[in-house]
Structure 1
């Protein structure tokens, strides 16, 4: 099983903190967000992880290298990671994934945004897609800081382009979602909405702890949440 951690964001809304520290390495309760995601993936079938970086990428990759060294005894012998250096400014989500496809292989793979804090249990995440599906998304209740949701979810588990749920940043994607596309600055949402229009996206709801750590206020809340546990 392959996974990709999206860690190339600039973190504009977290400045000035992210002027010297890449967003995925922001400390929450003594660990970086990136480190927490790597640990969460330990008890899963994932044996290859792609981590992309653009802004202060050398710090991002050094963090993964430290994790790999420290966790070596816990990880399967075939576990490996790949550093994907992207152009200045990054490639946006879909562009970064397209660049990583040679490492991710021909089977569906997990993707997680580095800038979220969550207790999501990967054991409930599908490892394969239903026939004909291009994506499976984990949705969460829309938080108070958003005025509208991202997507809908019907009783059969199909995701629609409008509704009251928020995309968590956790997904299972088919390489076919990116078929025919080349590496460029490209967002993921338009591709997902196109697949939804074809009825080719499924989803599930996660009601546990989830926090987007995209602003200084939400970072402070995340740190408070961890301290309170």
Structure 2
């Protein structure tokens, strides 16, 4: 699942007429980078949610056939936050663990490895497997502590930042009401308290494209790489 329902307030005025995931860097929309990398990792069926200017996303991406995938759309009347959006899409995602990526980040993560992590969640008695990154300048305090056994803790030092990429068991969202906004962090912290969240430190490229300045910087970097 690609999360694409956010308003992108910090990206205004760019997002006044364009959904944030359709903003371009390196000559293509942010969400297309994800779609292509997911396809290369063997994902052929995707779920994408939307709210703000969602019709523009559907027009741009269609059913996904142009990218070699099949897209199922999960529209929201108003943005349901991360956990609420996932809960709303569960009927499309099915009963097995699945991978989720924020539509407004850029990352060279190994999606095949994340897919493998999703496949082992049940056997490990876990509800989630998150990719963490070094704390960026705009988020120096980080989010979670990665213990030596691979478990994530809500407390503890040092801390790393959640990348917005993860694998989840649908049971994590089972108690949420549908069509009601809900944030992901409280669910994760509750699961961490019972040792049911795993993590991995991603040391490659990752950018939280949260401002026009970061988008422009990413565009320059990708242009230099050709």
Q: TM-score scaled to structure 1, two decimals? A: 0.91
Which one of the candidate residues 35, 39, 51 is aligned to 1:38? 35
Deviation at 1:158, TM superposition (A): 0.2
Residue 192 of structure 1 is matched in structure 2 by: 188
Deviation at 1:12, TM superposition (A): 0.2
Matches within 5 A, 1:145-184: 145-162=138-155, 163=157, 164-183=159-178, 184=180
Residue 132 of structure 2 is matched in structure 1 by: 139
Which one of the candidate residues 112, 119, 126 is aligned to 2:108? 119
Aligned length: 218
Counterpart Cα distance in 2 of 1:29 and 1:133 = 37
Which one of the candidate residues 46, 66, 84 is aligned to 2:74? 84
Counterpart Cα distance in 1 of 2:218 and 2:25 = 7
1:1-28 Cα deviation digits (max 9, x unpaired) = xxx0000000000000100111000011
Give yes or no for contact 1:35–1:63 (8 Å, CA) kept in 2.
no
Structure 1: stretches of 5+ with no match in the other structure:
none
Counterpart Cα distance in 2 of 1:149 and 1:49 = 29
Q: TM-score scaled to structure 2, two decimals? A: 0.92
Name the structure where strand makes up a greater proportion of residues.
1
Root-mean-square deviation (Å): 1.3
Give yes or no for contact 1:7–1:51 (8 Å, CA) kept in 2.
yes
1:98-156 Cα deviation digits (max 9, x unpaired) = 01001111110000000001111212222321432000000001111213010110110
